[in-house]
Chain A
Amino acid sequence: MAVIRDIHTHRSLVRSGTASCETITRGFLDSIREHESLNAFRALFPEESLGRARAIDAKRSTAGALAGVVLATKDNICRKGKPTGCCSKILEGYVSPYDATVVRRLEEADAVLVGTTNMDEFAMGSSTENSAYGTTRHPLDAQRVPGGSSGGSAAAVAAGLVTAALGSDTGGSIRQPASFCGVVGLKPTYGRVSRYGLVAFASSLDQIGPLTRTVRDAAEILQVIAGHDPSDATSSREAVPAYVDALTRDVKGLRVGLPKEYFTTALDKGIADAIMSRVEFLRARGAVVRDVSLPHAEYSVATYYVISTAEASSNLARFDGARYGRRSDGTTLAEMYTRSRSEGFGNEVKRRIMLGTYVLSAGYYDAYYRKAQKMRRLIVNDFENAFREVDCILTPTTPTTAFAVGEKAGDPLTMYLSDVFTVSANLAGIPGLSIPCGKDAKGLPIGLQILGKRFDESTILRTGDFLESV
């Protein structure tokens, strides 16, 4: 069984020779096997991981920043020589010939990447029920979902099967499962982390980020994966600050905003109370709390579903059976395409491809896609205005805690509404952090979301680290 420790401790143990990376890795591999019923993993690479661990042990004091850290990556992040399938049937048998930039950076920092985690197919979903490889179970209640789409990553971290995991967040896919599972989830600023090697869902919204047990660990992982990548034209050249150094636990004078559009009577009382209790901690330690307004918040889900499906319909066009992945037979080219895609994609993915194709079609573009782009601009403005008044914004991460398996599976609209608090950060390109914030009456974790200015992960990490400490 793995012993739960933070990244700093793992690094110190390995560098000082007190514990071997190999023993640590074995411990986690054992835990993963013991928790197979969670279905958190898509693929495991035990032998290779142990080999890497031994190589890291040989470096000892010169081992990298993530020495002793056992990590998992979501199944949509390319790993050279390994299956990268986005938990879709259409990528059955596909092995990536190259590593994603984040994978390379983690390995250069001596992390051990033991396996890939389960997810909603192509990151489309909020429950991991859309995986072609079965639903991941909530670590605290097997009848509930872990959230999604990075549900496998969240469940693995929550169950102590890895120290940290990478997820991807297009509309809340890191923060929502982090919230459901009671762990920390960070969606960095758009452009902060390279998307090279992340199988695209919606290119203008996707961002890779860490799921961890502590805010400090999230800062440690971000430190390694953040920064400009010449292979990603949308990655920023903005300097990467020392995130861990920002965790001062000092919130005196911090200006905290509460969007009045989110804190309405419709909000679940248990969740509202949990958030407000944390707000009181901040106030007590000298933070200045005030209401802010995000007037276009109510349009964010609609805007998000137009833009994300439009981009997805194009991004997923390459999965046609012609070059890699699953191919169905057909007597004509059109039939081969149709059958490969009909049989290869799951229902939710097909639904979104159809929606996206529709909103980009001649005659509908202006009414949907162009209008959504305009609304996106207004949402960006909302945040710019709000951040003139405050340094960070607090909201619930999700409107409910973890729901039951099957509860929303037949009702896509209700499922889409689980993203209501998270999608605007993707639309605005700002960073968002979800941290655990107590439990509801059923004992299920509640998540608190902290939103920050573009490229100001430091402030939201500092705020989250403070709240975690009280």
Chain B
Amino acid sequence: MTAPSGFEAVIGLEVHAQLRTASKAFCGCSTRFGDEPNTNVCPVCLGLPGALPVLNRGVVESAVRMGLAVGSSIAPTSIFARKNYFYPDLPKGYQISQYDEPICRGGTVEIDLDGGARRQVRLTRIHMEEDAGKSIHDAGDGTLVDVNRSGVPLIEIVSEPDVRSPREAALYVQKIRQIVTYLGICDGNMEEGSLRCDANVSVRPAGTAALGTKTEVKNMNSFRNVERAIEFELNRQIALLRSGGTVLQETLLWDAESNTAHPMRSKEEADDYRYFPEPDLVPVTAAEAWVAQLRSELPEHPTLRRDRFEKTYGLPRYDADVLTAERGTADYFESVVRELGALGADSAKAASNWVMTDVLRVVGERRIDIAEFSVPPSSLAGMIRLIGNGTISGKIAKEVFSAMLETGERPERIIDERGLLQLSDETAIGKVVDDVIARNPGPLATYRSGNAQLLGFFVGEVMKQTKGKANPQVVNALLKQRLT
């Protein structure tokens, strides 16, 4: 993007994804979020004297799977390093991370720009590291530390400075979230901090190649905040440069409440992390055969799946986007289509409509995972089939859907028990039609005098009498015939 100011934004992103392994990176403690403070701890993650880290191989597996999903090259041997700094929530006085020999190098993340174009954001690297504990500053006079999070595994995904606008940055983070959740390696929850993003932001006069001085923006805990914070920082830098000032290399903390970013520390007094190879751990190996196996077991990439939904099911791009945003939704949708069998391709749009509106609405309202959704795909497919063959009307289907939701019963049974079967018999409907016409001489006269709009009134009356079960097409045909 070339900003109207004549400046170009140059943005690189560092995304930390907390891995969903059951135990921490270097000890057996649980990674569960939200437990009583300082309960998921042991000598290792407390950094007690004499304790030693032992690598959880699940961490390596997650990092390799992420690397494979974005086309990184996987290092056969990589090493952990210590990043040294003092902070009370860092029990050892160093963080075990990776430095000059990370597990993944390179790769690309493709983002869909709003106009429909696609952009490749190159990755520098992906590395494994452990999380620090949590400092709680607003608890009385002192600062409290919760060590539960200490040692929880993270991967850090570092991009090249390929991102050109705040919007692109948000789209990039969304894409990363989609990939990690598809892989099942991270729950992607930005509010709870499972996915965190820092941005390196600089500007340069449009058309020039040299990079301007960059600042680092931290603490952007939602997609919206990523966009707003970077926007803020770009504007600040541009205004500064225009007024003849210079950008200082510094770290800024985004404050969502005040919509501003405040300097955290100046890089001039930057920490020297004194990285060196972690002597308590041996080099991490990723054997070729193992990596090949992980590659063969990778789920379909969300972007490819989206493209396939468009092509195979003939869905509009919008539908394909919504359905593939989350892996669970896409899986659910495809199960429904599979259940529809031969009818599948034709009814795909119907299935899409039901999933996008009714299913996702309920999932959203109940704040549940679609995997916990009470209507199995086979029941939804059964219902769609019943609409298709005229057994029930679309209107009745809404009622059947609610009933399935509450009872978990199959649609056929609900229709049966509640007598919701659609009335298509002309003789039976004809009786109701005659009755309605007979009881409404006024409207009849008006209709016959040329006010065709009154047909709707008569349809409504017939539907009311039949409790909505009458086949609307039959009702329409009979009314038109007998009203004239």
Contacts and interface: CB of A to CB of B under 8 A. Distances in A.
A199 B274 contact: no
A183 interface: no
A49 to B, nearest CB: 22
B49 A323 contact: no
A314 B275 CA distance: 10
B297 interface: no
B299 interface: no
A91 B94 CA distance: 19
Contacts of A100: 50
A310 B86 contact: no
Interface residues of B, number: 28
Interface in A163-203: 195-200, 202-203
A84 interface: yes
Contact of A84 (B49, B274, B275): B49
B6 interface: no
Nearest to B44: A231
Interface string A403-440: 00000000000000000000000000000000000000
Contact of A323 (B46, B52, B280): B46
A370 to B, nearest CB: 9
Given A97-B43, A234-B282, A357-B274, A314 B82 contact: yes
Contacts of B50: 76-78, 84, 96, 100, 196-200
Given A204-B279, A322-B88, A314 B274 contact: yes
Contact of A361 (B43, B54, B272): B272
B437 interface: no
**Which has the most chain B C-beta neighbours within 10 Å: A314, A323, A324, A357?**
A314
Contact of A333 (B46, B51, B88): B88
A233 B86 CA distance: 25
A369 interface: yes
A337 B86 contact: yes
B276 to A, nearest CB: 6
A45 interface: no
B94 A362 contact: no
Given A314-B93, A320-B93, A234 B280 contact: yes
A360 interface: yes
Given A97-B48, A314-B84, A314-B274, A233 B93 contact: no
A281 interface: no
A168 to B, nearest CB: 11
B75 interface: no
A191 to B, nearest CB: 10
Contacts of A97: 43, 48
A457 interface: no
A318 B91 contact: yes
A232 interface: yes
B140 to A, nearest CB: 16
Contacts, number: 99
Interface string A72-104: 000011100000101000010010111010000
Interface string B68-95: 0000000000000010101010011110
Contact of B94 (A77, A98, A317): A317
B455 interface: no
B47 interface: yes
A311 interface: yes
Contacts of A76: 50
A202 B84 CA distance: 15
A233 B279 CA distance: 10
A230 interface: yes
A94 B281 CA distance: 26
B469 to A, nearest CB: 68
A362 B280 CA distance: 22
A91 B49 contact: yes
Contacts of A333: 88
Nearest to A232: B52
Interface residues of A, number: 45
A381 to B, nearest CB: 19
Contacts of A98: 43, 48, 51
Please report whether the interface of chain A is mostly helix, strand, loop or mixed according to DSSP. loop
Contacts of A357: 274
A202 B277 CA distance: 12
B52 A86 contact: no
Contact of A317 (B43, B48, B92, B281): B92
A365 B82 CA distance: 14
A200 B278 CA distance: 13
A319 B84 CA distance: 13
Nearest to A325: B49
A18 to B, nearest CB: 38
Contacts of A232: 52, 54
B53 interface: yes
B256 interface: no
Interface in A291-321: 310-311, 313-314, 316-320
Interface string A2-29: 0000000000000000000000000000
A236 B330 CA distance: 47
B432 interface: no
Contact of A203 (B47, B84, B88, B280): B280
B249 to A, nearest CB: 15
A317 B86 contact: yes
B53 A233 contact: yes
B397 interface: no
Given A200-B50, A317-B94, A361-B274, A233 B88 contact: no
B55 interface: yes
Interface in B114-138: none
Nearest to B143: A333
Given A314-B94, A317-B84, A360 B276 contact: yes
B274 A203 contact: no
Contacts of A230: 54
Contacts of B48: 96-98, 324
B284 to A, nearest CB: 10
Interface string B272-297: 10111001111000000000000000
A322 B46 CA distance: 12
**Which has the most chain A C-beta neighbours within 10 Å: B54, B276, B282?**
B276
Nearest to B273: A362
Nearest to B280: A203
Nearest to A194: B52
Given A233-B282, A318-B47, A196 B52 contact: yes
Contacts of A324: 48
A87 to B, nearest CB: 13
A388 B115 CA distance: 70
B49 A199 contact: yes
B235 to A, nearest CB: 33
A200 B47 CA distance: 11
A318 B52 contact: no
A100 B84 CA distance: 25
B88 A311 contact: no
User: Closest 7 interchain pairs by CB?
Assistant: A317-B93, A203-B279, A360-B274, A204-B279, A199-B49, A197-B50, A78-B50
13 contacts: A91-B49, A97-B43, A197-B51, A203-B280, A230-B54, A234-B279, A234-B280, A234-B282, A320-B88, A322-B88, A323-B46, A323-B91, A365-B274
Interface of B: 43, 46-55, 82, 84, 86, 88, 91-94, 145, 272, 274-276, 279-282
Given A196-B50, A233-B52, A234-B279, 18 more contacts: A76-B50, A77-B50, A78-B49, A96-B50, A97-B48, A196-B51, A199-B50, A200-B50, A200-B280, A204-B279, A233-B280, A234-B52, A314-B82, A316-B93, A318-B92, A360-B276, A361-B272, A361-B274
